[in-house]
Amino acid sequence: MTRSLLFAILLLPLVAHAADLLQTFRDALAYDAQFASARAALEAGRERLPQGRAGLLPVLGLSASTVKNAIDYESRPSAGVIPSRYNNNGWSVSLTQPLFRWQNWANYQQSELAVVQAEAQYAAARQDLLLRVTQAYFDLLLAQETVAAAQAQKSAIAEQLAVTAKGFEIGTASITDSQEAQARFDLASAQEIAAANELLVKRRALRLVTGKEPLALKGLKPGVTIGRPQPADVDSWTNSAEQGNYVVQAAQASYEIADREVGKQRAGHLPTLDLVATRGRASQQTQMVVGVLYPGSDSNSSTVGLQLSVPLLAGGATNSRDRESVALRDKARADLDNAKRQAALQALQAYLGVTSGLAQVQALEQGLAYSRSALASNRLNYEIGMRANIDVLNAQQQVFSTQRDLAKARFDTLAAQVRLKAAAGSLGDEDIGAINALLD
């Protein structure tokens, strides 16, 4: 039994349980540390809303006290020290309802925007996970294709080396043919080792995202057809990216938060008005002082009123914070413009990657057919003495090189489609499902 056949038999149970792209993504959702961090950040960001709302709602507080008093009386002329010991007890409940606090209203608006920003950042992190999983998946498939091509090339060269050695023995091949075949065999062996090492690295890279050892992955179906992006207009994609990209949406929320901060700091010059209500009780025990009995007392009190506070002077701090907020708003506006431009550039690059990739796939498919035909022709002509051994070796090299380039072009084109959808902010699970349907 040959080593290749044994390898195929051992691989059968793995192929039967091979993971696809959707399953790999589900594993990454549960394991990836970067996405777990984004999920926790979203939960924290959502808590900004109740915190901001609290500034508009009443505040209720309860306080209680008990005080032990120890007083020593001494009259003049001295008649000795007369002690007095008694307790004071009390409690009060206070209610404060803000009526006009512009800072609190601006803070509430900021909290709503903070939730929008957190959700956009979470959506961007989820799309980033989709991108990383897809790229790692295709990188591993390409590494497997490279190993398979290297092994097939080495096997074909070994067969050619054996034919050349036999021909040299009977005088139909020269020593140069034998040396060329041996050199190509040694080079193929080195390329096989390099490909195997790269395969190991790509396996570890995918395991880093999913937490599982990728024993076997489903590859692309033979002769799979990759569709063109719809709409087939690069301007539509760049315009969508400037609006729908999640990084742009997060930057937009950040700018609006900074804009509200300007109003919030300028409100430091405005008065505040609160409704204040209190209810309390104070008790004092009976006490004896210099033979005189002072009876204890209990008092209940209730107050309701308005409290106005007008800022007059803060040492220039309010004006400084105002200027600082304006500068930070300008920074947020510049960051938003940069995010839009970067998103448009990413969409352009991804769109061109898809279109050029489709052209490469078509050209390489034709090139592979021509290379296989040329290999068959060179082998036939070599057998009848019309071609040299080096021609056959070169034709073999061309076939295996074209096979690898074709696989890479297909994977790169699919990855570019995913990046294009991500740049436009429209990448979803259904897109991964569409790519998953192309797997065998």
Mean pLDDT in residue range 137-150: 92
Sequence-ordered list of residues with C-beta below 8 angstroms from that of 259, at least 6 positions apart, any chain: 329, 332
Query: Which architecture characterizes domain 18-55+102-269+318-436 according to CATH?
Result: Up-down Bundle (1.20)
Mean pLDDT in residue range 171-177: 68
Q: Are 418 and 427 in contact (CB under 8 A)?
A: yes
Q: Is the pLDDT of residue 17 over 80?
A: no
The helix-helix angle for 102-170 and 246-266 (nearest 10°) equals 160
| Residue 378: strand, helix, or coil | helix
List pLDDT tens digits, range 355-401. Answer: 999 999 999 999 999 988 988 888 888 677 776 667 777 788 888 88
Q: Kindly indicate the confidence band of residue 152, based on its pLDDT and cuts at 50, 70 and 90.
A: confident
Q: Is the pLDDT of residue 159 over 70?
A: yes
- Give the 3-state secondary structure percentages of the chain, helix then strand then coil, rounded to 5: 70, 15, 15
Q: Kindly indicate the confidence band of residue 6, based on its pLDDT and cuts at 50, 70 and 90.
A: very low
Q: Is the pLDDT of residue 295 over 50?
A: yes
Q: Kindly indicate the confidence band of residue 9, based on its pLDDT and cuts at 50, 70 and 90.
A: very low
List pLDDT tens digits, range 332-351. Answer: 999 999 999 999 999 999 99
Could you state, in order of their start, the residue ranges of all structural domains in the chain? 18-55+102-269+318-436, 59-100+271-310
Mean pLDDT in residue range 17-35: 90
Q: What is the CA radius of gyration of the chain?
A: 39
Residues 344, 347, 351, 352, CA torsion sign = positive
Q: Is the pLDDT of residue 12 over 90?
A: no
Mean pLDDT in residue range 156-168: 76
List pLDDT tens digits, range 394-422. Answer: 788 888 889 899 999 999 999 999 999 99
What percent of the chain shows pLDDT beyond 70? 89
